[in-house]
Amino acid sequence: MMRLRIGLCLASVFVASLALAQGGIDKRRSGYQDMGPSLQKMQDDGTANPGMLFVQLGAQAWATPAGAANKACVDCHGASGATMKGVALRYPAIPEGADTPADLEARINLCRTANQKAAPLPPESRELLSLSAYVAHQSRGQPIAPPDDPRLAPFRERGAALWAARQGQLNLSCAACHDDNAGKKLAGVTIPEAHPTGYPVYRLEWQTLGSLKRRLRNCLVGIRAESYAYDSPEYVMLELFLMERARGMAFEAPAVRP
């Protein structure tokens, strides 16, 4: 049953990419399309989108030297950030010399520790969110494009298995809501298809910017399941699965969500 579910999950991912390649109509919906016009406008308007404040903070952090190496991101990656164009679209990926995938936040922290010789930035810290918003913003409007690295496949498959597995006191899987009941109302809320198109997002309920991990933790808490630790590989596996499932969809970071 479980295996069948996973098989179906991955199969539907490939069918979606195939339909896209053949120019079929893409029925996938970003959370953006489930929002009312006023929130859509807030996201689209650079002066109204609160996420853009984090992009500006990120631009400052990008140019500020840090760590024992006393180097800034600009020193190696250029002042404009243009070298980061397209980068967020293909994470999680396996960094040079590593054998497990890292998501964008972890990749930035790798530069903190290896290149700046500084302490890693804590999860959900203002500085890490700002830097990832700055990097992610360089890819706004481009299609999500996970790398064709065969080493990622086993991690992505484990992500698909996590997606399909029931968990928590409420005994629900991610798929039960986001595949089988997307578009329906959970109390007053439209269940989105859960595409990772907008992260980091400014969520009104949080009153701040937050990472995809934080969003996944919210759903785990909702079904009364134990959250994974922030640095646990399970999130990266789920992120790999979600990015493949959203391949070709337009990237919107920093998005706004209710």
Residue 198's binding partner out of other proteins, ligand HEC, none, with CB under 5 to 8 Å set by partner kind = ligand HEC
Measured CA distances, 254 to 15, 147, 150, 151, 161 (Å): 28, 22, 29, 29, 28
Residue selected from 8, 20, 29, 77 as contacting ligand HEC according to rule CB under 6 A? 77
93: helix, strand or coil: strand
**Cβ neighbourhood burial of 67 (10 Å; 0-12, 13-18, 19+):** middle
In sequence order, which residues have a C-beta less than 8 Å from that of residue 235 and are 6 or more positions away? 103, 212, 213, 216, 228
Residue selected from 51, 92, 192, 200 as contacting ligand HEC according to rule CB under 6 A? 192
Alpha-carbon distance of 14 to 160, in angstroms, equals 13
Instruction: Show contacts with other proteins in window 139-168 (CB under 8 A).
Output: 165-168
180-185 long-range contacts (CB < 8 A, ≥24 apart) are 182/29, 183/29, 183/34
Residue selected from 4, 25, 82, 187 as contacting other proteins according to rule CB under 8 A? 187
Residue selected from 13, 59, 144, 177 as contacting ligand HEC according to rule CB under 6 A? 177
Instruction: Show contacts with other proteins in window 211-240 (CB under 8 A).
Output: 220-221, 224-227
Question: Are 101 and 94 contacting, i.e. CB atoms less than 8 angstroms apart?
Answer: yes
DSSP structure class, residue 115: I
Q: Hey, what are 133's tokens? A: 């918003």
Site string for ligand HEC, 5-44 (x = CB under 6 A): --------------------------x-------------
Residue selected from 194, 209, 246, 256 as contacting ligand HEC according to rule CB under 6 A? 194
| Least Cβ distance, residue 99 to ligand HEC (angstroms) | 15
Q: By C-beta, is 5 or 178 nearer to ligand HEC?
A: 178
Which residues does the annotation mark as catalytic? 219
Is 170 one of the binding residues for other proteins (CB under 8 A)?
yes
Q: By C-beta, is 77 or 126 nearer to ligand HEC?
A: 77
Q: Tell me which residues touch other proteins (CB under 8 A).
A: 165-172, 176, 180-181, 184-189, 220-221, 224-227
